[in-house]
Structure 1
Amino acid sequence: MTPNGSLIIDAKQNKLLQSALRIKIMHALSREAMTSKQVADRLRQTPGNIHYHIQRLYEGGLLELAETRSVAGIVEKYYAAPASQFHFPGAAEGELRQKDDEGWTGGAPFSEYHATRLDLSDEEAARFSEELKTLLEKWELHTEGGREYGVSIRIGRIDEKGED
């Protein structure tokens, strides 16, 4: 875990999280331990689909088996996510650089990289984009000064090429 509570992940785990549904599953299981069926009900998905994704996340080390219960001869497995925010130390972080008195240096003392996947309708995507623009404009107009920070946000539809 990093100081801000995000889980440090590797390249394989990062690839597992390249799905809006899997991000939703991680958020749900970070709040409370649940069975695949309970997650499916909460997310309004089929139990088989959610079970598949939970198994991939568990095998990838992103979920923990929190508890097993035997109910009427059936073993219920409760999964939990240690975090819903992730830190993948990678190339994107290296893109943030700062200029000091002697020229360009490596990564800035404070730099963060955030990425996620969202499952949006066209209308939601447009609204999300407008809200981001409004947030950026608010900060552009109402800061009190200090050090300069670069902010880059890219929003784009993902071509579905299948998942593992």
Structure 2
Amino acid sequence: MLPNGSLVIDEKQNKLLQNALRIKIMHALARQPMTSKQVADLLRKTPGNVHYHIQRLYEGGLLELADTRSVSGIVEKYYTAAASQFHFPGSAEGSDWEQDDDSWTGGSPFSEYHATRLDLSEEEAVRFSDELKALLEKWEQHTEGGREYGVSVRIGRIDAKEEE
């Protein structure tokens, strides 16, 4: 675990997180331990679908078994997320960008890579893009000087055949 609460993940774990539903599951289980059924109800998804994704995340080491309870002869498994923020080393944006993992321990140079998947309607995607542009513009005008930092953000629909 890194100082900012991020978990260092490997390539296999990074691939597991390339799904918007799995990101939602991780955030739900970061708040409190729940069963697959409880997560499915919270996210308004089918229990079988959520159970499948929870099993993949658990097998990949991103979820932990927090508790088991026997209720009317049925064993309920409560899962919790290992973290809700992740660091995948080596996610470089290009040769001009300084890459040094000392940035995660308070050293220099500072370089971070953030990525996620969002499940957005067309209207939400437009609103998200507008809010992101406004945030970037605010910081473009707000800077007081210092070192130059690059910010690269890509928003685009994911091809349905790539999703699990």
Question: Could you tell me the TM-score, scaled by structure 1's length?
Answer: 0.90
Which stretches of structure 1, 4 residues or longer, exceed 4 Å deviation after superposition? 93-96
Q: Please identify, of 56-65 and 85-94, the stretch whose mean Cα deviation from structure 2 is larger.
A: 85-94
- What 5-or-longer segments of structure 1 have no aligned partner? 99-105
Tell me how far apart the structure 2 counterparts of residues 139 and 11 of structure 1 sit (CA, whole Å).
32
Equivalent position of 1:80 in the other structure = 80
Say yes or no: does 1:25 pair with 2:22: no
Equivalent position of 2:104 in the other structure = none
Say which SS state the counterpart of residue 92 (structure 1) adopts. Answer: coil
Question: How many residues are treated as equivalent by the alignment?
Answer: 157
Shift of 1:91: 3.7
Equivalent position of 2:48 in the other structure = 48
When residues 162 and 143 of structure 1 are mapped into structure 2, their CA distance, relative to the original with a 3 A threshold, is: closer
CA contact (8 A) 1:34 1:80 kept: yes
Counterpart residue identity of residue 151, structure 1? V
Question: Could you tell me the TM-score, scaled by structure 2's length?
Answer: 0.90
State, as a whole percentage, how many aligned pairs show the same letter: 80
Alignment of 1:3-14 (within 5 A): 3-14=3-14
Bigger CA radius of gyration: 1
Shift of 1:38: 0.3
Root mean square deviation, CA, Å: 1.6
Question: Which structure has more strand as a fraction of its residues?
Answer: 1
Equivalent position of 1:121 in the other structure = 121
